[in-house]
Chain A
Amino acid sequence: MTGNDLQTLIDFRSEVEEPDEETAKRIYALATASTTWRSRGAERLRRSGRSRLVLGVAAVAVVIVPTAIAFGGKLVDVFEGSPAPPEISTTFTALNRMADSAIQQGIASKMPHADVSKAHGVIEIQTPDGPQDLWAAPSDQGGNCYFIDFANDPPGPTGKNGFSGCDPSPPPASNINWGEVWGPAHPDLLTIWGTVFVDGATVRVTLDNGSTLNLPVVEGLFLGSLTGSEDSLSSGEKVEKVTAFDAAGNQVAEDSTNPK
């Protein structure tokens, strides 16, 4: 690249202007709108002085607030509802093939299939390993099939590596279905996700040491991440129960069974 070429590059779209003061004020107000979440997390940190895992939980709780809530709903435009990219659609397609194969082999008489054409983003959270995304597609047996991946992980020939599943049909009596999973590719993170089958706005995840993590519910789904050492995360369950609340703060469901 010659000096002239570099100058052409530097000048490319240089006519784009900086934003005005009004835009700056608006963005500042929106970007700092997550104060409530931040101060709650910071307060919990100051009070507890608990183990490394719990500290990790509190710290990540500040960061992982799903974008749809943390950014005043603005990021719904960025992620929630965004069509799944090819590598995610490929993953859902591969999961459907696996369901077909299981049925053909007599492993199951019926298994849910995702409507790949309607696969879309639901929640994105920020983790120490980069963005983690929850994608969903309607299930032909009601509810959703979902897939959770780390955005920065490269896709393979059959899609991306991640965690997947479909809502049970009928829903569980507790009206909450949830799971927690740890994977070797991200050894310091424990992923918690689930579905609330009633009108829930938030869930409170209670860990076995009594600390809690509050997560928003988007399209009936929630996603969270805990940090800790590999040993602490891979050697047992850390979540004791999940409790859902409606927008008014009333408890609407609770599940304390082992994750599926």
Chain B
Amino acid sequence: MASFEDVFAAEFRPLYRYLRRRVGAAVAEDLAEAAFATAFASWERLDPARPARPWLYGIAANLLSRYWREERRMLRAYARSGVDPVLGEEDEAVARLDTDVDRRALAAALAELRPRDREILLLHAWVELSDSEIAAALSLPVGTVKSRLHRTRERLRNQLDSEGQVAVKPSNTPAEGQR
């Protein structure tokens, strides 16, 4: 079984980056720290036969679940304004008006996914976890992961195929169209 130090060395940077992509740098640092502190505290109880990577991302998913509103708010803001709060927070120089309508439509579509479906999709697309690894991370049956991933991708395709005409629901104002 790999040591905690080995797993930290291998997994910290990609996990931290994943969290940054989800909720921005400010929250990501706290979440990364919390995830690894939880892992460290539980290390002796980890089944040696169980891969550490899905387990770590499962811990991170639990922590991220508290931030689904913030994540949705940032995605909607990006879709509406063309300025991605996640990238703007990362580096002011990057806080630019994004004219890539595909990305903005995608942000709008991601914002409207159910939090757990978004988690499954992004673990698949950004972390490249397999279906069985996602199932292990989120304590779901593999079949459930497969079906929800399929359904989520279908839903995104339908929204993106409609010429990017994705409705963005603002927090406090009446619904408005994107593009």
Task: Please report A residues at the B interface, Cβ cutoff 8 Å.
Answer: 1-2, 5-6, 8-10, 12-19, 23-24, 27-28, 30-34, 37-38, 42, 59, 62-63, 65, 67, 70-71, 74-75, 77-79, 82, 85, 126, 130-131, 151-152
Contact = CB atoms under 8 A, between A and B. Distances in A.
Contacts of B106: 5, 8-9, 12
A63 B34 CA distance: 12
A17 B156 CA distance: 26
A105 B32 CA distance: 50
6 shortest interchain CB distances as A-B pairs: A31-B36, A1-B153, A1-B157, A18-B13, A31-B37, A13-B21
Given A15-B87, A19-B17, A28-B12, A59 B45 contact: yes
A9 B125 contact: yes
Contacts of A78: 27, 30-31, 34, 63, 66
A16 B62 contact: no
Given A9-B121, A15-B94, 6 more contacts: A10-B126, A13-B21, A19-B12, A38-B41, A75-B30, A78-B63
A244 B8 CA distance: 36
A109 B125 CA distance: 59
A130 B62 contact: yes
Contacts of A9: 106, 121, 125, 156
Interface residues of B, number: 48
Nearest to A86: B69
A8 B103 contact: yes
Given A23-B16, A24-B13, A78-B30, A16 B37 contact: no
B160 interface: yes
B94 to A, nearest CB: 7
B65 interface: yes
Contacts of A42: 44
B87 A34 contact: no
Contact of B34 (A6, A16, A28, A67): A67
Contact of B41 (A16, A62, A152): A62
6 contacts: A8-B106, A9-B106, A14-B21, A18-B13, A77-B30, A126-B38
Contacts of A126: 38, 41-42
A201 B160 CA distance: 54
Most-contacted residue by chain A among B4, B32, B110 (CB, 10 A)? B32
Given A5-B160, A38-B40, A28 B8 contact: yes
A8 B41 contact: no
Interface of B: 4, 8, 12-14, 16-17, 20-21, 27, 29-34, 36-42, 44-45, 62-63, 65-66, 69, 84, 86-87, 90, 94, 102-103, 106-107, 110, 121, 125-126, 153-154, 156-157, 160
Contact of A13 (B32, B42, B87, B157): B87
Contacts of B16: 18-19, 23, 27
B30 A17 contact: no
A32 B156 contact: no
A70 B84 contact: no
A150 to B, nearest CB: 11
Contacts of A28: 8, 12, 36
A63 B42 contact: yes
B29 A23 contact: yes
A97 B27 CA distance: 35
Contact of A30 (B33, B41, B157): B33
B65 A152 contact: yes
Nearest to A74: B33
Contacts of A70: 37, 41
Given A8-B106, A18-B13, A130-B62, A34 B157 contact: no
Most-contacted residue by chain B among A12, A30, A67, A151 (CB, 10 A)? A12
A155 B4 CA distance: 36
B84 A71 contact: no
Contact of A5 (B8, B39, B94, B157): B157
